[in-house]
Amino acid sequence: MSLLSKDSFQQIKRIFMSVPQGRKSQVSDTRIIYYRDSERNNSYGIKRVLPLLSDPTFDFEKPTVFYIHGLVNWCHPNAYIETAFDSSVATVVNAYVAHGGFNMLVLDWGNLAFGDYISALLNIKPVGNAAGKAVFKLLKRGLDIKGLHIVGHSMGAHVAAVVARYLKTRRYIVPRITALDAAYPGFYPPLQTVPVNPKDADFVDIIHTDGGWFGASTSIGHVDFWPNGGTANQPGCLPFTLPLTVENFCNHWRSWQYWAESVNGGNFIARKCNTYEGFRQGKCFGTAFMGLAATPELRGNYYLRTASQEPFALGESGATLRRRGYT
């Protein structure tokens, strides 16, 4: 991997943009995008989502995934800004489309992810509550709560929690929330919004890839997966990078890359351990699948190894201890 690429400064360039072109920094301009396939999608205003259910391709018999993109950076108030059309969303969407077994929805709150970090923190509750109201309308018109799975990356994981909390006030319990490297700065301890936690859904699973830096460093779900220890440096990421460049977020972004691969059938087998050192020493018991195949009875911490490039999943060998000199 080279130190820099043509996209290295993509996030830094966004520092000088107030909002995406054609958008307003208002909750009312938040949108839900329904992906009919990887090429075709329909966007619905957060307050006008019901026509989504009238799309002839929407299948009420399928479970529905609601993906929420993220925003996080504690080095600069603006530098990590994500939209619903970035590679993280495209990668996850394409994985679900290829799978074919889900209705794919994305919360596009990029209009409120452009701004300083504190403003984004203050926007989490309004955005999450507005999205919760939208999902509530869909549930009242026939969307099956039993098939709803909310997946959030970075700050989007905490937005997902607010969505679930709103639905709980309307007597709908979300079956599953998956947090992909849930944002750390401003949440541990919480400055404004209680971070995602096991009370938010029947099953809350977490994938940690940049713990203690951009991502949470402690166990925060029913089950927490810690690939390669859950911290930098993830295999294939540079040990030293220029701050705020795309390469600087490599570890943080591994979470959604692992997730997308799991949706595509990647076999991420993890072993239950008290610590990563215990995993390295073979002091572990039991295995489980990390990713889409994780099951709701799982509890505790699981560790695994991954490859340095796609495909990242190592199958059963990923759940073995790392001996000296073995990578």
Residues known to be catalytic: 154, 181, 252
Is the Cα dihedral 279, 284, 289, 290 positive or negative? negative
Give the pairing of strands 269-272 and 287-289: antiparallel
As to burial, measured by CB atoms within 10 angstroms (0-12 exposed, 13-18 middle, 19+ buried), residue 63 is middle
In whole angstroms, what separates CA 196 from the centre of its chain? 12
DSSP state of 191: S
Give CA–CA dist 10/305, Å, rounded: 30
| Count of helices and strands (H, E) across the chain | 7, 11
Give every CB contact of residue 110 below 8 A, 6+ residues apart in sequence: 20, 23, 69, 81, 82, 83, 84, 85
Radius of gyration of the chain (CA): 19
Give CA–CA dist 310/108, Å, rounded: 27
Give CA–CA dist 146/261, Å, rounded: 24
What tokens were used for 45?
């205003």
In whole angstroms, what separates CA 77 from the centre of its chain? 20
DSSP string, 126-162: HHHHHHHHHHHHHHHTT--GGGEEEEEETHHHHHHHH
DSSP string, 63-76: -EEEEE-----SSS
3-state secondary structure at position 258: helix
DSSP state of 315: B
